[in-house]
Chains A and B, each alone.
Chain A
């Protein structure tokens, strides 16, 4: 903020939002954001950490590019087939991404509050401009930009004559989205600053993800039945579809009319009108009309943003949520108050878990996914299982194991300053780790059992050898994970804010190595299963896994025996890492 303060108070107002003083403030702001960004890349864990983070960022970038390619491919198909009635879907999807993703991501991360600028002598115009410009580096704008480029390329490849109209329409639509998302943020950012609100939004986000994931297998099943099912089944699906059309057709038509007057519909309509006009030679006027209405929406979004920022600028705080009333009810414990530190840690872990939506989601998600995926292989009422589907049980159980990676490999991460208590109290760290391992194992076994039941119920019950071999593999996989997880938890911990889902700084090395260990354990399982199946002696997998399990249990006990020494040796860095601010 040196630039802001050093800009010279007398010159700040002169020249307006583009004057020398304002420009110095923009430069200071840019410097601040750059410093924050570059500090976020610094790592005390060295090259491995930086490498792991780079890999993760590349993956995110690839996901963004994939979304852009999807938008491009969709647009190309629509334009080349002259199927313009579907183009609103592309714009609505883009608008949804643009508006919802940042709000939902905000539930997992602290917001950079531009309100700090109001301490300084900043012009309102400059404040507005900074607020809008700072949004350009948000993930929403990047995603929206990639989608826009995809649409532009897709449409132009199919219809080069529409390049100008597509560019113009996308530009206005992008301006609308940028202003709208910033306006929404401006109104709810203080609300988001509250932990509980972030968690509620996080929960809504999870429900939405679950709903979307439910949609795919449901459609898949319906499509599968419609195309490949028995003739009677196909006829039934066709009949149901006709009934749905008859019942909801008028509603859909009305909804289509309404959406065509909303911003994504207007952008789509402009493109459609331009496409028709290029062919007939008189489409410019209607297309310009649609874009003008879209422009008015853009101005309205800008106005809403300006109104909110003006209030903030004057010192009002309209968006602040009222503080919650005090709760006078006494706590009524519902867990048995068992004595002893191991029971105390287990109870504390359970209570914390039940209050931590993102962790519950991470644990429950694999089971839900097993449920959805198993729908693709749903066997109807038949209880017989195809030989190739025998492996569904071990796959389902192994998938459930993945949800526990963070708990196993960073089991102290959520303690924060509470880690000090473990070193201050007369309880050995061994007891703390034992309690955590027992609790996490119980959770995992519950998850694995549910996954097993789901697979058996949806696909069919595998034979006894598969069940026994899967159980034997679990006896190997679980203590292996616990043993390595305890070591990683002490040697390369990272701080986890239990209210957030996003990983914290310093987590990538642990994440990468723990993934490698998990893959190793899964690989051993796959190799043994494959070899024994190939040799037509699946029973052999059981003693092999049991022998490996014996070794894993010994290793886990040895780690527990030595964990006090390891933890005490590293207590300084352990506490510094887990208590780190920000």
Chain B
């Protein structure tokens, strides 16, 4: 049996009385483009932080490429790339300096780091900004740099927390092409985003988390047929979009009590 790229069992994280993530068990096969969706505050970023070693789980286990976090943490970190929620950038460096720094932190030799830095800057259309400090970058440029830093060491598993937020359409298309290329070459990608159209286009499998609990998990077709079977009409008649599936699963109100209508608004 093939080892899962990402495997969790009963993953739980509590912050005092609040349970942000509860009993999440999921498995992502190697080479899969996995979309992890949920409303704001559902526990997506907390889950990614636990999967990448930024946050200790309160309970449950995590294995990445068959290695558990803990004793294998350093070996495991060499295999994964992350665009975290805060982007992990260093404002007082220029983009080439930052990428060279990241490459060396991941143990790449100088020549490889320099070559990949130049290629990534060119690819991300940041080469002309090589003298500008990262702190002076626009949000979209910072996202692109964070993405470049996440892949400079050639990770086998890539975790992306809202990578398309604030990125223009041209850059988004470029990033999508890069990610698709990675999948074609055997990498595994774990993506959280609010842009459902991107998930629908790129991801083969999707999981949905709501109020900290996993409420759906499977291929897009499985989710579609699962939701369609609960709605009137045959499955063929119901070609549901991911947005419709998502809203059907978490509820149009995102699992919250419906708010009172603001009748004073014009």
A85 → chain B closest CB, angstroms: 51
Binds B, one of A312-320, A325-333, A456-464: A325-333
In the complex, what residues of A have CB within 8 A of residue B102's CB?
421, 425
A343 at the interface (CB under 8 A from B): yes
On whether A421 and B105 interact (CB within 8 A), knowing A348-B90, A351-B92, A426-B75, the answer reads: yes
CB-defined contacts of A221 to chain B, threshold 8 Å: none
A427 in contact (CB, < 8 A): yes
Looking at the assembled complex, report how far the CB atom of A192 sits from the nearest CB atom of chain B, in whole angstroms: 16
Q: Mark A412-430, 1 if CB is under 8 A from B, else 0.
A: 0011111111111111100
Distance in angstroms from A414 CB to nearest chain B CB is 8
Contact with B along A344-359 (1 / 0, CB 8 A): 1101100110011000
Is A548's beta carbon under 8 Å from chain B? no
Nearest to B79 among chain A residues (CB) is A426
Q: Are B135 and A337 in contact (CB under 8 A)?
A: no
Confirm or deny: A571 has a beta carbon within 8 angstroms of a beta carbon on chain B: yes
Q: Which residue, of B90, B107, B127, has the highest number of chain A Cβ atoms within 10 A?
A: B90
- The residues in B between 76 and 126 inclusive whose CB is less than 8 angstroms from any CB of A are 76-78, 80, 82, 84, 86-94, 96-97, 100-102, 104-107, 109-110, 113-114
Q: Does A232 contact B (CB under 8 A)?
A: no
Q: Which of B52, B89, B104 interacts with A343 by CB under 8 Å?
A: B104
Tell me if B54 and A356 are in contact (CB < 8 A): no
Given the known interface contacts A356-B92, A426-B107, the answer about A347 and B101 at a Cβ–Cβ threshold of 8 Å is yes
- CB-nearest residue of chain A to B87: A417
* A354 (CB) vs chain B CBs: closest residue: B92
Do B77 and A421 touch (CB < 8 A)?
no
CA distance A183 to B104 in the complex (A): 50
Interface readout for A149-172 with B: 1 if CB under 8 Å, 0 if not? Answer: 000000000000000000000000
How long is the Cα–Cα vector from A579 to B54 in the complex, in angstroms?
A: 13
Contact B90 A418 (CB under 8 A): yes
Q: How far is the CA of A339 from the CA of B114 in the complex (A)?
A: 11
| Residues on the A chain within 8 Å of B96, using CB | 331, 333
Minimum CB distance partner of A359 in chain B: B92
Is B74's CB within 8 Å of the partner chain A? yes
Q: Which residues A467-504 have CB closer than 8 A to chain B?
A: 498-499
Q: How far is the CA of A340 from the CA of B109 in the complex (A)?
A: 8
B198–chain A nearest beta-carbon distance, Å = 23
B56, B82, B104 interface centre (most CB from chain A within 10 Å): B104
Residues of A close to B86: CB separation below 8 A: 417, 420, 575, 579
Among candidates A330, A341, A571, residue contacting B104 with C-beta atoms closer than 8 Å:
A341
Given the interface contacts A331-B131, A426-B78, does A417 sit within 8 Å of B114 by beta carbon? no
Contacts A348-B101, A424-B54 given; does A339 touch B109 at CB 8 Å: yes
Chain A residues with Cβ below 8 Å from B52 are 424
Question: Bound state CA distance, A327 and B114, in angstroms?
Answer: 20
B92 near A417 with CB under 8 A, answer no
CB distance from A568 to the nearest CB of B (A): 8
Selected from B89, B130, B131, the residue in CB contact (under 8 A) with A418 is B89
A residues less than 8 Å from B230 (CB atoms): none
Q: Are A424 and B77 in touch, CB under 8 angstroms? A: yes
Q: What separation, in Å, do the CA atoms of A453 and B24 have in the docked complex? A: 64
Hey, which chain B residues are within 8 Å of A338, CB to CB? Answer: 110
Residue of B nearest to A338 (CB): B110
Which size class do A's interface residues fall under? 35 or more
B136 at the interface (CB under 8 A from A): yes
Contact present for A423 and B54 (CB under 8 Å): yes
Task: For the complex formed, measure the closest distance between the CB of B107 and the CB atoms of chain A, giving whole angstroms.
Answer: 7
- Closest-CB distance, B134 to chain A (whole angstroms): 9
State the CA gap A541–B51 with chains docked (Å).
54
Q: Closest CB-CB distance, A459 to chain B, in whole Å?
A: 38
- Flag if B55 contacts A572 (CB, 8 Å): yes
Docked CA distance A191–B222 (Å): 56
User: Are A426 and B106 also in contact (CB < 8 A) when A331-B96, A418-B90 are?
Assistant: yes
| Chain A proximity of B140: nearest CB distance (Å) | 15
A424 touches B53 (CB 8 A): yes
Partner of A421, one of B53, B88, B94, B136: B88
Q: Which residues of A contact B97 (CB under 8 A)?
A: 331, 333, 348, 351
**Contact at A424–B82, with CB atoms within 8 Å?**
yes
Q: Given that A195-B135, A426-B77 are contacting pairs, would A340 and B104 also be in contact in the complex, using a CB cutoff of 8 Å?
A: yes
For this complex, into which size category does the number of interface residues on chain B fall? Answer: 35 or more
C-alpha spacing A401/B88, complex, angstroms: 31
Residue of A nearest to B146 (CB): A417
Q: When the two chains form their complex, are residues A426 and B88 in contact, meaning their CB atoms are under 8 A apart?
A: no
Q: What are the residues of chain B within 8 A of A344 when measuring CB–CB?
A: 100-101, 104-105
* A504: min CB distance to chain B, Å: 15
Q: Does B133 contact A (CB under 8 A)?
A: yes
CB nearest to B102 among chain A residues: A421
Residues of chain A lying within 8 A (CB to CB) of residue B77: 424-426
Kindly list chain B residues whose C-beta atoms are within 8 Å of the C-beta of A352: 90, 92-93
Bound form: Cα–Cα A525–B191 in Å: 57
The reply to whether A331 and B84 form a contact with Cβ atoms under 8 Å apart is no
B128 at interface, CB cutoff 8 A:
yes
Given known A-B contacts A331-B97, A344-B105, A421-B88, A337 and B133 have beta carbons under 8 A apart: no
Bound form: Cα–Cα A326–B129 in Å: 7
CB of B94 within 8 A of CB of A331, answer yes
Judged by a CB distance under 8 angstroms, whether B239 is at the interface is no
A327→B130 CA distance, assembly (Å):
8
Any chain A CB within 8 A of the CB of B132?
yes
Q: How far is the CA of A337 from the CA of B102 in the complex (A)?
A: 13
Check A420–B90 contact: CB distance below 8 A. no
- Which of B53, B80, B91, B114 is in CB contact (< 8 Å) with A416? B91
Q: Which residues of B contact A422 (CB under 8 A)?
A: 105
Closest CB in chain B relative to A76 CB, distance in Å: 50
Q: Please, which residue of chain B has its CB at the minimum distance from the CB of A326?
A: B128
A351 and B93 within 8 A (CB): yes
Please provide the chain B residues from 143 to 160 with a CB less than 8 Å away from any CB of chain A in the complex. 149
> Counting chain B CB atoms within 10 Å of each CB, which of A418, A571, A575 scores highest?
A418
Select from chain B the residue with minimum beta-carbon distance to A424.
B82
In angstroms, Cα B92 to Cα A420, docked, is 16
Tell me how far the C-beta of A346 lies from the nearest C-beta in chain B, rounded to whole angstroms: 11
Residue ID in chain A nearest B127 by CB atoms: A330
Residue from B52, B109, B130 having most chain A Cβ neighbours under 10 A: B130
A358, chain B: closest CB distance, angstroms: 12
| Beta-carbon nearest neighbor of A335 in chain B | B97
CB of B150 to closest CB in A, whole Å: 9
A338–B104 Cα gap in the complex (Å)?
A: 9
Report Cα–Cα, A428/B133, bound state, in Å. 27
- Known A-B contacts A195-B135, A344-B101; the reply to A424 vs B92 at CB < 8 A is no
A423 CB contacts on chain B under 8 angstroms = 53-54
Cα A536 to Cα B110 with chains together (Å): 56
Task: Give B97's nearest chain A residue, CB to CB.
Answer: A351
Q: Nearest residue in B to A330 (C-beta to C-beta)?
A: B130
Contact check, A575 vs B89: say whether CB atoms are below 8 A apart. no
Extra A-B contacts (11), CB below 8 Å, given A333-B97, A341-B105, A498-B91: A327-B129, A337-B110, A344-B100, A344-B101, A345-B105, A348-B90, A420-B54, A421-B90, A424-B84, A426-B74, A426-B107
B contact set with A: CB distance below 8 Å: 52-56, 74-78, 80, 82, 84, 86-94, 96-97, 100-102, 104-107, 109-110, 113-114, 127-133, 135-136, 149
Nearest first, the 4 A-B pairs at minimum CB distance are A344-B104, A420-B88, A417-B86, A418-B90
20 contacts between A and B (CB under 8 A): A195-B136, A327-B129, A330-B130, A331-B131, A339-B110, A340-B104, A351-B93, A356-B92, A416-B89, A417-B88, A418-B88, A418-B90, A420-B86, A421-B105, A424-B80, A427-B106, A498-B91, A568-B56, A572-B54, A575-B54
